[in-house]
Amino acid sequence: MSPTELSTVTVMEDMTNLGRHALKGEKVTFDARVNSISTAGAAGQLVLGLRVQQALLRAIVSSHDIGEAAWDKARKLTPESIVRVAGPIRLLHGEKASHDTDTAYAVEVTSLTVIGQASPNLPSFHRSSSSTSPPLALETRLDNRILDVRNAATGAIFKLHSGMCQLIVEFLCSHGFHWIHTPRIISATISGDNEYFSLPYFGREAWLAQSSQHHKQMALSMDMERVFEIGPVFRAEVKSSASARHMTEFTVLDIGMAFRDDYREVMGLIEEMLVFVFRGLQERRQYRQLIEVARGLYPSAGRFRVGLDEQGRVPRVSFLEAKRILREELGVETDDGKNFTDQEEAALGRHFRASSHLGQTDIFTIDQYPASMRQFNSKASAEGPGLSNAWDTVVGGREICSGSHRINSYDELCEAMRNNPCGPPLDPDAQKWQAYLTAFKAGMPQHGGCGLGVNRLLQGFLGLDDVREVTLFPRDVNRMAP
């Protein structure tokens, strides 16, 4: 290509383009955000710091090169405005601007168009990887989420989120799953559970769904066999005011699946999906690049380990064995009659990551939970009294997924409701349960399923402390905007 020919560079798609064009001193045209503006150069000259995703460029703009009308607009430019510039690009060698040490390229601008003018005095959220100033508080960043996510490392998190969902869909659709959509407005709640949001509904009572589990089961009774859904659920979690893993609205991957002989067929398939997703993120070029960009600000990104056991599966441990490990190997005082605390889950996470006999892994499954800690419709276990065929998957030291073998017999389910092991008795004759129970009266296949927090999945994969880091517009007790 001759130096006078125009080529359009989309830097984020292929960073190497920029270097290649710069090496040849070619003329390029591209859109960029204005990062900084300096009038310190010669009279009639502006030096713009430009940003295209994670790439920083210096643009030298002279009034006599771009014409009077464009110069007039250039002089009024503000940081965060979008400009289209054209001009020959070159590599900066020993002449990097001291205030912007990441800048590697300079463009002698021959044409400049203002595409989107930003208001003056916007707060600055751009942080280069070489920045030495302390990180901004998450609340401040969330208050200014739009500017915050323009930061390439933060933006990379949400592109990875998209990639993660695509990999989930790719795996499930290639394993015979059907993508369904179930309602968020529901008419029956589980008594004793105070975490429903109620809403006025034409003079009647209605609530926002906490999970899609019951409708998903109904779909299995429709002979859909394998179904999934990715969507929002709502929980009035008071603890979301202080918890780094709870929000009031979050995204759940709900999976339901009929099985033939054993509920562990369901568990195994979900584990296989998680390995596929993690490996996809770690191995596919576009996601590897995004992880690298994210590492600029989030050093824990890219450290995730997928360790498998001798059978090539995600390592598994029973609930009671996990309690034993905590007590005997980690010296943690723990009660077998209580669920794991956040600290216990984190301690187990560190232990699995460090222990070669456990797979040196950041993902493992805890199976055979006590029935008292699970929903009324979890199937009782044949492996020990008071246990159920229910599991949690732990990723990066936090529960990200709860699954179980669900009761499929109508009579057994009614019995489990009356003798609810995990809350007050439920009345299967109550009107509010009839829509759900109809699916069982009609004959339900043997099945299992899970609810998997998509936000927590990415949080665990990237090793971030707060789930709101990986949630574009988080909602909690204190936050309803932006």
Please identify, using beta-carbon distances, which residue of 245 and 351 lies nearer to ligand ATP: 245
User: Does 252 help bind ligand ATP (rule: CB under 6 A)?
Assistant: yes
How open is the CA angle 264-265-270, to the nearest 5 degrees?
A: 90
Nearest to ligand ATP by Cβ — which residue?
Answer: 453
User: Does 469 help bind ligand ATP (rule: CB under 6 A)?
Assistant: no
User: Is the dihedral angle over the CA atoms 94, 98, 102, 106 positive or is it negative?
Assistant: negative
Candidates 141, 235, 264, 323; binder of ligand ATP (CB under 6 A) is 235
Rg (CA), the chain: 27
Least CB distance to ligand ATP at residue 314 (A): 15
Q: For residue 39, give the amino acid letter.
A: T
Contact flags string 390-409 toward ligand ATP, x per CB under 6 A: ---------xxxx-------
Please identify, using beta-carbon distances, which residue of 240 and 334 lies nearer to ligand ATP: 240
Contact flags string 436-465 toward ligand ATP, x per CB under 6 A: ---------------x-x-xx---------
Q: For residue 107, give the amino acid letter.
A: V
User: Does 246 help bind ligand ATP (rule: CB under 6 A)?
Assistant: yes
Please identify, using beta-carbon distances, which residue of 159 and 456 lies nearer to ligand ATP: 456
- The one segment of 218-226, 244-252, 319-327, 436-444 that binds ligand ATP by CB under 6 A: 244-252
User: Does 373 help bind ligand ATP (rule: CB under 6 A)?
Assistant: no
User: Does 277 help bind ligand ATP (rule: CB under 6 A)?
Assistant: no
Candidates 9, 52, 247, 380; binder of ligand ATP (CB under 6 A) is 247
Please give the structure tokens belonging to residue 445: 């296949």
Please identify, using beta-carbon distances, which residue of 250 and 461 lies nearer to ligand ATP: 250
Binding site for ligand ATP (CB under 6 A): 235, 237, 240, 245-247, 250, 252, 399-402, 451, 453, 455-456, 467
